[in-house]
Chains A and B, each alone.
Chain A
Amino acid sequence: GENVEQHPSTLSVQEGDSAVIKCTYSDSASNYFPWYKQELGKGPQLIIDIRSNVGEKKDQRIAVTLNKTAKHFSLHITETQPEDSAVYFCAASMMGQAGTALIFGKGTTLSVSS
């Protein structure tokens, strides 16, 4: 089955710096890779996703890159702000019994200090 590894587990940056979170996956059939942000006391929220036919996707200060050959994908946050502080999860799709299931990484706690 699919296995998703996420690094680092914690990341501390100064406001204005960039932050990069990396994930690797094992199932070459995976074709969808979302990123979720979870703030304290809330459920995860989708912030950006990428499909296997695309190498990079950008949305304002966040971007995701995908290297299918190496089976890894990364989240890039530029010009970080204190409100970016949260836990970030990557995920990869896996075909299940009746649809596609998402396999999640263990999460990265990002702290942005001002």
Chain B
Amino acid sequence: ETGVTQTPRHLVMGMTNKKSLKCEQHLGHNAMYWYKQSAKKPLELMFVYNFKEQTENNSVPSRFSPECPNSSHLFLHLHTLQPEDSALYLCASSLSTRTENSPLHFGNGTRLTVT
């Protein structure tokens, strides 16, 4: 049973749609992350939040907009996506952003398909 829950598990959207991915962690962690997982590619870090504040934006296009209302919840708002944005989007959390002292815990991901 994962302590990081992501919804929905699957999402199909058109290029003109607006949708949101949700992540909730029940581990008492202070840092939350969005990763993109594409086939045959390494996991790509997108955003990092620490105590609700965004600390890292890894040159992600503005059609991806994160929101972190508190340390337990993280959203990824999507609008005017491209087909190449189709991927598995993984949320993770850790006690702190010093990952060598506090390992990442991943959710099971949202499989996104952009048509």
The interface of chain A, by Cβ under 8 A from chain B, is 4, 9, 31-32, 34, 36, 41-46, 49, 51, 89, 93, 96-107
Contact with A along B69-98 (1 / 0, CB 8 A): 000000000000000000000101000111
Given the complex, which residues of A lie within 8 Å of B45, measured CB to CB? 101-102
Q: 5 tightest A-B contacts by CB?
A: A99-B97, A43-B106, A32-B100, A98-B55, A104-B43
A16–B48 Cα distance when bound, in Å, is: 40
Do A102 and B99 form a contact, CB below 8 Å, given A4-B42, A43-B108, A89-B43?
A: yes
- Count CB-based A-B contacts (< 8 Å): 73
A12–B31 Cα distance when bound, in Å, is: 37
Do A106 and B106 form a contact, CB below 8 Å, given A93-B99, A99-B97?
A: no
Q: Is B104 an interface residue (CB 8 A)?
A: yes
Most buried by B among A9, A43, A46, A89: A43
A99–B98 CB distance below 8 A: yes
Q: Is B66 an interface residue (CB 8 A)?
A: no
The interface of chain B, by Cβ under 8 A from chain A, is 2, 4, 31, 40-43, 45, 48, 50, 55-56, 90, 92, 96-100, 103-109
Interface secondary structure of A, over-half rule: strand
Do A46 and B103 form a contact, CB below 8 Å, given A89-B43, A96-B48, A99-B48?
A: yes
Do A101 and B99 form a contact, CB below 8 Å, given A43-B2, A89-B43?
A: yes
Given the complex, which residues of B lie within 8 Å of A45, measured CB to CB? 106
B108–A100 CB distance below 8 A: no
Given the complex, which residues of A lie within 8 Å of B2, measured CB to CB? 42-43
Do A99 and B96 form a contact, CB below 8 Å, given A44-B90, A45-B106, A46-B104?
A: yes
